[in-house]
Amino acid sequence: MSQQSLDAEVLIVGGGLAGNTLAGLLGSEGIDCIVIEAASRIDQTETYQNDPRALAITHASQQILSSIDVWQRLPKERIGRFRGMHVWDQNGNGEIDFDSVDLCQPELGHIVEQSVLQGVLEQVIGFMPKVRVYHNTCLEDIQWHADHARVSLNNGEKLSVQLVVGADGARSASREMAKIGSKIHDYRQKAVACVVKTALAHENIARQRFLTDGPLAFLPMHNEKQCGIVWSTTPEHAEVLLALDMASFNLALQEAFDYTLGEVVESENRAGFALRRAEAERYCEQGFVLIGDAAHSVHPLAGQGANLGLLDAASLAQLVLEAKSRGRNIASRRVLRAYERWRKGENKTMMMTMEGFKYIFENQSSPVPMLRNKALDFANSFNPLKHIIMRHAIGLSGDLPLLAKNRMA
């Protein structure tokens, strides 16, 4: 099929954070993209309601979002920042602290509500002449041919494109259509997330307390007494927490958090999220590639899911743009395998590190709690180790795509 008869060079299935970021990065460099998104366009007025999912955003993600003018357009009063992090264990006295000063950075990262970020991303790509977004539209079928893919949509339309990107989240339909399996591990945990107001100011510190059933995180938002919380616990306990009236929930939360920020005086928009780890067996085929949660989903305990998806998007965009500038086929296995080799290793390292943390913190069988407390105290007092862990987690090190590199780091 000749280039002329293509409807777009790239079709992105799923306009979440990963898919829309990729559209922005490619569209701003002149690549014709179509995004199909099952949900409606985000109502900008609705984003002024607090979103239960407050995301920790790394330096690397901030760089990527800045490169397409998304970061600059976020409302300042919706961006929280954390300059320190305090992690401790309910079952013992082990604790670890991280401070941005040790890394010569003004902060370790930022906190932004998912729908606020998503709303601004939609706005920015909506102005790009090379990006078309079809909302309320679902993928029905994909047929791959030698030099193009034919994609059928639920509105009856059929599109011919060079490359299909699966960015349709953890339950990716496009991944299934490409017959790529996914290894799934059910954590038997559910996260309860919401925004709360506390009696004491958070002082721009992100805090995480490991409880017997899972971690409880308080992420500092712009208002000095407002935090996004993520409480990972057993599915049964999560159902109980979701059903409580506000006063009883606040009481349960302040007790679980050991009154670290005093009383919880307000909480709103509680939502539950089932937690599972998933990893696609492969990230690509000729003419097809996976990014974001469609390729991998991780436990929210380290706040990395969206950040890994943005790194996928920036890495893929870099390789596609390089291939195009050299006159190569952007949908070839050669280009897509280079992306897979790059990102699969990086994502796996982060996933395994998180799994290690999770295992160590949740294991209550003797002597793990005692060793855990000793290890935490050792790590806390051994600055070189702390710096290595932290620089990686906040996106200052690792095999980063060019767009994610912090020129100040």
Ligand X SMILES: Cc1cc2nc3c(=O)[nH]c(=O)nc-3n(C[C@H](O)[C@H](O)[C@H](O)COP(=O)(O)OP(=O)(O)OC[C@H]3O[C@@H](n4cnc5c(N)ncnc54)[C@H](O)[C@@H]3O)c2cc1C
* Residues binding ligand X: number (CB under 6 A): 34
CB 330 within 8 Å of CB 382: no
The smaller minimum CB distance to ligand X, of residues 33 and 369, is found at: 33
Q: Is 309 a binder of ligand X (CB under 6 A)? A: yes
E strand or H helix that includes residue 93? none
Which two three-digit tokens encode residue 180? Answer: 């790529």
CB of 73 to ligand X, least distance (A): 19
The smaller minimum CB distance to ligand X, of residues 17 and 195, is found at: 17
Distance CA 345, CA 279 (A): 12
The single-letter code of the amino acid at 249 is: F
Q: Is 304 a binder of ligand X (CB under 6 A)? A: yes
Among positions 78-107, residues that touch ligand X (CB under 6 A) are: none
- Quick one: which of 56, 64, 151, 177 contacts ligand X (CB under 6 A)? 56
Among positions 184-223, residues that touch ligand X (CB under 6 A) are: 191, 193
Which two three-digit tokens encode residue 44? Answer: 């900008």
The smaller minimum CB distance to ligand X, of residues 291 and 376, is found at: 291
- Quick one: which of 11, 33, 42, 55 contacts ligand X (CB under 6 A)? 55
Q: 402 by DSSP, 3-state: which?
A: helix
The smaller minimum CB distance to ligand X, of residues 173 and 376, is found at: 173
- Quick one: which of 8, 10, 13, 206 contacts ligand X (CB under 6 A)? 13
For residue 217, the cross-strand partners are: 208, 230
The smaller minimum CB distance to ligand X, of residues 8 and 55, is found at: 55
Query: CB atoms < 10 A from the CB of 300, how many?
Result: 22
Burial of 285 (0-12, 13-18, 19+ CB in 10 A): middle
- Quick one: which of 27, 292, 369, 401 contacts ligand X (CB under 6 A)? 292
* Among 53-61, 202-210, 258-266, 389-397, the segment contacting ligand X (CB under 6 A): 53-61
Q: Cα dist. 280→126, 176, 184, 330 in Å?
A: 30, 10, 9, 21
DSSP labels, 164-199: EEE-S-TT-HHHHHTT--EEEEEEEEEEEEEEEEES
Binding footprint of ligand X on the chain (CB under 6 A): 13-19, 36-39, 53, 55-56, 114, 138-139, 167-169, 173, 191, 193, 230, 273, 292-293, 300, 303-307, 309
